[in-house]
């Protein structure tokens, strides 16, 4: 019997990675997610887009979430057909005003060398970006990329 699954019937395949909130782990996170999406036969540009978004989200978790302190960053990724969804979570300080934090050039850190473009880059390189945060409990950034087509914003 030959059965073609519909999109709703297709199951998500997933992975989970936890690591300490040290900046040197950002590169590790990029490589792991790139390896996970390799089976989807992405273009080099699609891999680079996802890796850039991962870098920004992980850096935000480390720099803003834990304010360069100790903590655990959790990445969960899942794929189905030509869609990859990646969530980056920290149990850090949380974001007081998500709308403001997502504005270009806004940085919650005063006097630092940060450009405040992290969320802008995530939105530019991914098709969907969702941020959930609670003060004192942490932040989860969930990003989705549909491979094989470009969405112009």
Q: Which residues are catalytic?
A: 56, 60, 114
Q: Which residues contact 85 (CB under 8 A, 6 or more apart)?
A: 12, 77, 78, 79, 142, 143, 144, 145
Closest among 103, 82, 86, 85 to 150, alpha carbons compared = 82
Helix axes 44-60, 118-125, angle to 10 degrees: 150
């Amino acid at each position: 019997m030959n059965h073609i699954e519909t999109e709703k019937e297709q199951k998500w395949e997933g992975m989970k990675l936890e690591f300490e909130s040290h900046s040197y782990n950002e590169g590790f996170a990029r490589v792991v997610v790139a390896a996970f999406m390799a089976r989807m036969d992405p273009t080099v540009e699609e891999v680079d887009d996802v890796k850039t978004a991962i870098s920004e989200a992980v850096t935000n978790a480390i720099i803003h979430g834990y304010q360069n302190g100790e903590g655990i960053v959790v990445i969960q990724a899942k794929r189905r057909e030509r869609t990859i969804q990646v969530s980056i979570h920290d149990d850090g300080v949380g974001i007081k005003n998500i709308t403001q934090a997502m504005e270009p050039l806004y940085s919650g850190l005063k006097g630092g060398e940060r450009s405040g473009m992290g969320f802008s880059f995530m939105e530019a390189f991914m098709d969907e970006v969702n941020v959930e945060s609670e003060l004192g409990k942490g932040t989860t950034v969930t990003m989705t990329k549909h491979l094989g087509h470009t969405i112009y914003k």
